[in-house]
Amino acid sequence: MSFHQRLQSVWAAQNSLVCVGIDPELTRLPKHIREQEEPYLVFGTAIVDACAPYVSAFKPQAAHFAAAGAEDQLAKLIGYIQTHHPDIPVILDAKRGDVGSTAALYAKEAFERYGADAVTVNPYLGHDSLAPYFQYSGRGVIVLCRTSNPGSDWIQGVRVGDEPLYLTVAKQIGEWDVNDQCMLVTGATYPEELGEVRGMVGDMPLLVPGVGAQGGDVEAVLKAGVDSIGQGLCISSSRGIIYAGSGLDFAEKAGQAAMRLRDEINRYR
């Protein structure tokens, strides 16, 4: 099964396009979780179990774990998801970008050390920086294209001939994606441009951050971004879901937030 096929399967089975980003910060965790020996793992597994009925992907953010020296907790969390919710892909949000042996080691880190189903990568160094990830043909390679942050125009909007750079990236990734494993990161805060990317790449899946705390409009994203069968999107929310509650019922609150986002998305599909 290709990564694209796996996504199509989980979108249909879960009736959801929601991706929950797991970006733990120790100071924001409930007090009773901060006191645990492995707080990020305890927090993450509770969030996962509560949200799993309503989502099609989980996206732990590597730096949030690594900065706290919690890489082992990240590996355990990914292993937990794959054991208890094996049909839901895990996207390691790492945004790696390098060449040669370093790129190969980053790919090994993502897919062998952590066992992630997909990883986010930066295409700025060209095909050389992506080739090691393509060697893992069943895994997803999620390429930054049109990101949701306000400063992204500095480079992503630069004109390359008659089109902005982000469309050049989209076109090129479409040509390189010979194993149906690529996605493009296209921010919810730029729905018109998300639609341009969709028009460029056909039914290639898109990872769409920027709803929730960043203010992206769900209806606009769905109108611009769904594929030919009303799927094709992993719409990601992190803080708006994982910090929906701060007490003993934090996981229940997160599950409710994930369910609300799923239902809002499905109203516009």
Confidence of residue 213 (pLDDT cuts 50, 70, 90): low
Average pLDDT over residues 64-90: 98
pLDDT at 106: 98
Copy the structure tokens of residue 249: 């019922």
Amino acid 144: pLDDT: 98
Residue 154, pLDDT > 80, answer yes
* Entry pTM: 0.97
Residues across the chain: 269
Is 31 designated active site?
no
Catalytic: which of 31, 59, 76, 95? 95
Contacts of 163 by beta carbon, 8 Å cutoff, 6+ apart: none
The residue segments making up the domain with residue 120 are 3-267
Mean predicted confidence (pLDDT) in 78-99:
98
Q: How many domains does the chain have?
A: 1
* Per-residue pLDDT, 212: 67
DSSP-assigned letters across all residues of 23-86 = ---GGGS-HHHHTSSSHHHHHHHHHHHHHGGG-SEEEEBHHHHHTTT-HHHHHHHHHHHHHHST
CATH code (residue 191) = 3.20.20.70
